Amino acid sequence: MTEVSPRQTSDTSQRIAKLLHSRATPIRGQLSVSFEFFPPATEAMQAKLWASIERLAPLSPAFMSVTYGAGGSTRDRTHATVKRILSDAGIRPAAHLTCVGATREEVDAVVRSYRDAGIGHIVALRGDPRDPAQGFTPHPGGYQNAADLVAGIRRIGDFDISVAAYPEKHPDSPDMQADLDNLKRKIDAGANRAITQFFFDNDTYLRFLDKARAHGISVPIVPGIMPVTNFNKLCRFADSCGAVIPPWLAQLFEGLDDNPEERKLIAASVAISQCERLLEHGVRSFHFYTLNRSELTRAICHSLGLRPLENKVLQNGAA
Ligand SMILES: Cc1cc2nc3c(=O)[nH]c(=O)nc-3n(C[C@H](O)[C@H](O)[C@H](O)COP(=O)(O)OP(=O)(O)OC[C@H]3O[C@@H](n4cnc5c(N)ncnc54)[C@H](O)[C@@H]3O)c2cc1C
């Protein structure tokens, strides 16, 4: 066995202390997380969603957002879910809203109903047609795009407004410059923050951030983190929204189609290391696409240093 001198021991402990310091995660208050859900279509899905909300609420997210189905197909369910997040979970909800297939008057009525229900945050989106191959055509009497919708919401009330951003460019955009122009239009129309489409290459996001700042966009651009639960589904979705699946990710999930438990472990490790690298680059806000599941998102938040507030319980026996 090799002798270890006192000098070496002290060097080693200094190295360990340095390592621990560099790994130290930010404490509560320095980190902001938000969670995205989709409105449940059945009783069983409703129960699953509320079980997840109950597990995630104690992490005190900045907000919980609820998506809006194509063409307003989930209007009532989105509305009911955001209202319940506010009343039962005591968390600030954010309601997604799109322009697809509706007149300005119809969309404005939804915005007013949110205002009247005390929902102060809207994620304003253009949306996609039911058949994406058709391409988006604005409703003749409707909002033309997300920037137009943001301006409309601003006219109705003093909302917190988030919009979408695309580190890998939106598929309808001819180039990144045009996409940044579009993002700038949305911010100039009155949006307070952008939330990105999911991505797996952090450098792409960091470069996008630099470009956006150089473009005069100064609002927070919160990275959207997608914990991978079903790799094949993810590939189909990525294909439709222009997100890139790097070969190393495909390799990691190779051969795991019939092994959900192992997939989950890989998914957690991928998302944790993605978030840790972003943390090292000074990112302090994360938006999680939970797909109405709590387990992975909770594990990732735990690794980021977030701990649940034990006394945070839902009202009205919400679960
Ligand atoms: C965080 C997040 C949440 C989402 N939530 C939902 C949801 O709840 N429901 C849902 O249906 N979809 C949702 N989506 C998907 C979104 O609706 C689609 O990505 C849609 O194709 C674009 O919406 P947008 O708001 O980004 O559109 P916009 O910002 O209006 O732009 C879309 C594209 O059109 C181009 N464009 C827009 N206006 C102009 C113009 N005047 N001239 C030239 N080009 C223009 C832009 O460059 C861009 O490429 C979400 C996406 C993200 C990232």
User: How do the domains of the chain map onto residue ranges?
Assistant: 30-317
Mean pLDDT of the region 148-153: 98
Q: Is the C-beta atom of 68 inside 6 A of ligand 1? A: yes
Q: Is the C-beta atom of 224 inside 6 A of ligand 1? A: yes
Give residue-wise pLDDT tens across range 194-225: 999 999 999 999 999 999 999 999 999 999 99
Strand-pairing partners, residue 36, are 65, 289
Of 147, 96, 142, 100, which Cα lies nearest the Cα of 119? 96
Query: What's the Rg (C-alpha) of the chain?
Result: 21
Q: Is the C-beta atom of 146 inside 6 A of ligand 1? A: yes
> Which atom of ligand 1 is nearest to 165's Cα?
53
The fold adopted by the segment(s) 30-317 is TIM Barrel (3.20.20)
What count of residues does the chain have?
319
Q: Is the C-beta atom of 61 inside 6 A of ligand 1? A: no
Give residue-wise pLDDT tens across range 158-178: 999 999 999 999 999 999 999
Q: Is the pLDDT confidence value at 147 over 70?
A: yes
Of 169, 73, 190, 182, which Cα lies nearest the Cα of 128? 73
Other C-beta atoms within 10 Å of 122: how many? 28
For ligand 1, the distance from its centroid to the CA atom of residue 100, given in whole angstroms, is 11
Q: What's the pLDDT at 182? A: 98
> Which atom of ligand 1 is nearest to 169's Cα?
49
**Residue 183 corresponds to which tokens in the numbers above?**
């993002």
> Which atom of ligand 1 is nearest to 147's Cα?
30
Highest average pLDDT, of 13-27, 57-71, 202-216, comes from 202-216
- pLDDT category at 64 given cuts 50, 70, 90 is very high
Residue nearest to atom 39 of ligand 1 (CA): 182
> Catalytic pick from 3, 36, 105, 276?
36
Give residue-wise pLDDT tens across range 43-52: 999 999 999 9
Q: Is the C-beta atom of 142 inside 6 A of ligand 1? A: no
Mean pLDDT of the region 243-249: 95
Would residue 36 show up in a list of annotated catalytic residues for this protein? yes
Q: What's the pLDDT at 281? A: 96
For ligand 1, the distance from its centroid to the CA atom of residue 306, given in whole angstroms, is 31
Q: What's the pLDDT at 90? A: 94
Question: CA 42, CA 245: separation in Å to the nearest integer?
Answer: 31
Q: Measured over all CA atoms, what is the biggest interatomic distance in the chain, rounded to whole angstroms? A: 82
Give residue-wise pLDDT tens across range 90-122: 999 999 999 999 999 999 999 999 999 999 999
Question: CA 217, CA 27: separation in Å to the nearest integer?
Answer: 28
Strand-pairing partners, residue 35, are 64, 288
Of 205, 202, 216, which Cα lies nearest the Cα of 270? 202
Q: Which helix (H) or strand (E) holds 214?
A: helix 202-214
User: With helix as H, strand as E and coil as C, how does 141-185 read?
Assistant: CCCCCHHHHHHHHHHHCCCEEEEEECCCCCCCCCCHHHHHHHHHH
Q: What's the pLDDT at 29? A: 66
Give residue-wise pLDDT tens across range 5-16: 555 555 555 554
Of 81, 86, 155, 85, which Cα lies nearest the Cα of 124? 155
Please name the residue that has the structure tokens 């340095």: 18
Q: Pairing mode, if any, of strands 193-198 and 63-66?
A: unpaired
Other C-beta atoms within 10 Å of 112: how many? 12
